[in-house]
Amino acid sequence: MSEERPLPLRIAVFGAGSIGCRLGGALAANADVTLVGRAAAMAELDREGLTVTGPGDRRLHARPRTAVDASAVAGADYVLVTVKSPGTAEAARLLAPHLSPGAVVLSFQNGLHNAEVLRAGLPGHRVLAGMVPYNVVRTGPASFHQGTEGRLMLERADAAARFGRVARAAGVPVEARADMPQVQAAKLLLNLNNAVNALSGLPLREQLGSRPYRLVLARCQREALAAFRAAGLLPARLGPVPAPWTPAVLGLPDGVFRRVAAASLRVDAQARSSMWEDLRRGRPTEIDELQGEVVALAERHGLPAPANRRLHALVRAAEAAQEPPRWSGPDLLAALDRED
Measured between alpha carbons, how far is 331 from 215 in angstroms, rounded to an integer?
12
CB 225 within 8 A of CB 179: no
**Measured between alpha carbons, how far is 45 from 62 in angstroms, rounded to an integer?**
9
Which has more pLDDT, 146 or 11? 11
Rg (CA), the chain: 20
CA-CA-CA-CA torsion sign (21, 26, 28, 33): negative
CA distances from 271 to 109, 276, 298, 321 (A): 18, 10, 31, 23
CA distances in angstroms from 45 to 36, 41, 52, 66, 256, listed in the order given: 11, 6, 12, 8, 44
Q: How far apart are CA 29 and CA 25, in angstroms?
A: 8
Q: What is the mean pLDDT of residues 82-107?
A: 97
Name which of 97-101, 108-112, 279-283, 329-333 the model is least confident about: 279-283
pLDDT > 90: percent of the chain: 80
Determine which of 91-95, 193-197, 239-243, 299-303 has the lowest per-residue pLDDT on average. Answer: 239-243
**55 prior amide bond cis, ω within 30:** yes
Tens digits of residue pLDDT in 227-237: 999 999 999 99
- Tell me what the mean pLDDT of segment 157-175 comes to: 95
Specify whether the CB–CB gap between 278 and 272 falls below 8 A: no
Classified as helix, coil or strand, 305 is coil
Of 82-86, 266-270, 329-333, the one with minimum mean pLDDT is 266-270
* Range scoring the smallest mean pLDDT among 5-14, 18-27, 316-325: 5-14
Given CATH 3.40.50.720, say whether it is the number of domain 10-178: yes
pTM over 0.85: yes
Ranges of beta strands (E only) in 159-225 are: 174-177
Tens digit of pLDDT for each residue in 49-73? 999 988 877 898 999 999 999 999 9
State residue 40's pLDDT score: 94
What does the domain layout of the chain look like in residue ranges? 10-178, 183-335
Q: What is the mean pLDDT of residues 167-176?
A: 94
How far apart CA 101 and CA 235 sit, in angstroms, is: 34
Report DSSP state, residue 166. H
Average pLDDT, the chain: 93
State whether CATH 3.40.980.10 applies to domain 183-335: no
* Tens digits of residue pLDDT in 104-113: 999 999 999 9
Do the first three CATH levels of 10-178 and 183-335 match, i.e. the same topology? no
pLDDT of residue 264: 63
pLDDT of 240 reads: 83
pLDDT band at 6 (very low <50, low <70, confident <90, very high): low
- Would you say the C-alpha torsion 170, 172, 177, 179 has a positive or negative sign? negative
Length of the chain counted residue by residue: 340
Rounded Cα–Cα distance for residues 136 and 134 (Å): 7
> What is the model's pLDDT at position 5?
53
**pLDDT reading at 2 higher than 50:** no
Query: Are the C-beta atoms of 78 and 12 separated by less than 8 Å?
Result: yes
